[in-house]
Chain A
């Protein structure tokens, strides 16, 4: 069940003094709203509206038709919207994915970077910054971004463009409001992450467990980003002591994500565990790494973020020690060599 909230925009030059909003799901009954008086909605202006009848229909798929009935408005060609709707019996909390294209060379990026740093503090918003043309760029990250055709910085993509209906843009002052709207939604999929960092072998391992709350049909792909926080480094127009956050180091599933891990028709409660592994370059600070995992639905080469989650890497081996506490000789050696410790040490 959901409240039905809308806002009506005036297209005509004649002020709209009173209106109501009606809705209908598939061929069900027409739900007539209460008439709302206004001070006169002018062209381009909006008026908020809450429908008295909540949207409460059994689990199903269909089309929600919403239209405005304006008092004295005889033009019905521009007052109706249609939404494809999947009604779920059970759902998971929706988290919003906001991705940025940025670079240390980008003089206009510090402000949007700061905006998204703040948004990332919201537990229902996850930010990933894809660097390009700088020392923080990765080939897989840049390749992933190409699907959006947004080769400018700063640019932002929310929810992987929602099947192309929410294009990339640089309107960072609007991102917070858009994310807040989408946080009110729900998702048919929850994502569990088990991520480990083996310091001995320097290998990152990510296991994803995806639970569906409903049977769905579609093309679903999964992906996982290795993300690093707290990287001190140069940023043009960023001032001194700049620190980079949410930097995508690797898109583990590649530009297109991992297809086939989720069958075209999923069953409610089915769990999928596509493990992904990636060697961890020596220069990454394992302690500041995180993983972001996504489930994406694809339609005609467009994408929508079904859900997104983040997790920490758990150290599965021992910490690197800065100072050497042993020596090996002879070096070079053949056959065998000896290891001398600073002090007696227990076997492991």
Chain B
């Protein structure tokens, strides 16, 4: 939550579900997960354990 972008993953095609790979460098803690599509951007908090 220090504002640094840990990873950015792109979806290949039109989907309704995607697998999110959590980078190994991610320590335990709280991360901001952002999903963008067209002009929409949504966020949620993700806990990594």
Give residues in A with beta carbon < 8 Å to B. 199-203, 279, 317-321, 323-328, 331-341, 343-348
Contacts and interface: CB of A to CB of B under 8 A. Distances in A.
Counting from the closest, the 8 A-B pairs by CB-CB distance are A347-B11, A332-B47, A321-B40, A345-B37, A332-B49, A344-B16, A337-B20, A318-B41
Contacts of A345: 11, 14-16, 37-38
B29 to A, nearest CB: 10
Chain B contact residues (Cβ within 8 angstroms of A): what range? 20 to 34
B20 A320 contact: no
A341 B36 contact: no
Given A324-B44, A333-B49, A340 B20 contact: no
Contacts of B33: 328, 339
A201 B41 contact: no
Contacts of A343: 16
Given A324-B43, A341-B18, A345-B15, 5 more contacts: A324-B42, A328-B20, A336-B20, A344-B15, A345-B37
B11 A333 contact: no
A338 B18 CA distance: 6
22 contacts: A200-B34, A201-B5, A317-B36, A318-B38, A319-B40, A323-B42, A332-B46, A333-B49, A334-B22, A335-B21, A335-B22, A337-B20, A341-B17, A341-B37, A345-B14, A345-B16, A346-B13, A347-B12, A347-B13, A347-B14, A348-B10, A348-B36
Contacts, number: 109
B40 A348 contact: no
B19 interface: yes
Interface of B: 3, 5, 10-22, 33-44, 46-49
A279 B18 contact: no
A202 B3 contact: yes
A345 B10 CA distance: 12
Tell me what chain B mostly uses at the interface: helix, strand, loop, or mixed. Answer: strand
Nearest to A345: B37
B42 A321 contact: yes
A328 B14 CA distance: 18
A137 B38 CA distance: 36
Contacts of A318: 36, 38-41
A158 B49 CA distance: 55
A340 B34 CA distance: 13
A320 B40 CA distance: 6
Contacts of B43: 320, 324
Contact of B36 (A200, A203, A331, A333): A200
A249 to B, nearest CB: 16
Contacts of A321: 40-42
A348 B11 CA distance: 6
A273 to B, nearest CB: 24
